Chains A and B, each alone.
Chain A
């Protein structure tokens, strides 16, 4: 069964450093998403991406965040200057169509900012 993959599974970084989280969505999917989950809290939407541009973003997704689809398979989330409060699990998801089409989540990258 096709699945979303994410690398790395765990990333440790120093405050102020840049990190890039990588995702490979399911191959025929057209919509891509990033969510985050701070330990003990709910899953929160960050951004959705379609047709090589952001279609929606939350207030969390400020200028420190960016997304890119650098080639036909990868989808990345970059955090330019990490803060302690960026420590969380980051989930990538993809769906074939938008709307209520099922979003399939990757296993997540645990980001720890020291």
Chain B
């Protein structure tokens, strides 16, 4: 089983739509979770950390379900500029800094 699994998409949505991505992770000892965004041929950039209680940053909401070992990202009111690949990222062990990336979910927002 892959350490971090994501649906590669693409998800094609119109502007203003709400879209949700899920991600599952295999290591139940994982402690830290993130969503990164990657534009074509660019570096990954942190979008938001994911906390057990769930957290929101503007139009973006992240949720963590430890029992089911999945993480979600909800984007409301999609903008054209949201078109990118969204990477689910996990730090599998405490005390280390190795980021484990999923393959990413591609989002295309159209006018």
Contact = CB atoms under 8 A, between A and B. Distances in A.
Contacts, number: 59
A56 B45 CA distance: 22
Nearest to A41: B103
Interface in B90-111: 91, 94-104
B73 interface: no
Contacts of B32: 99-100
Main secondary structure, interface of B, reads loop
A42 B97 contact: no
A7 B42 CA distance: 14
Interface residues of B, number: 23
Given A99-B32, A100-B91, A43 B96 contact: no
Contacts of B57: none
Interface residues of A, number: 26
A106 B43 contact: yes
B43 A91 contact: yes
A48 B97 contact: yes
B97 A55 contact: yes
A43 B101 contact: yes
A106 B31 CA distance: 25
A106 B102 CA distance: 19
A105 B45 CA distance: 7
B44 interface: yes
Contact of A31 (B38, B45, B97, B100): B97
Contacts of B94: 99
B41 A98 contact: no
Contacts of A103: 46, 97, 99
Interface of B: 31-32, 38, 41-46, 49, 87, 91, 94-104
9 contacts: A42-B87, A42-B101, A43-B101, A48-B96, A56-B98, A95-B97, A100-B32, A103-B97, A105-B45
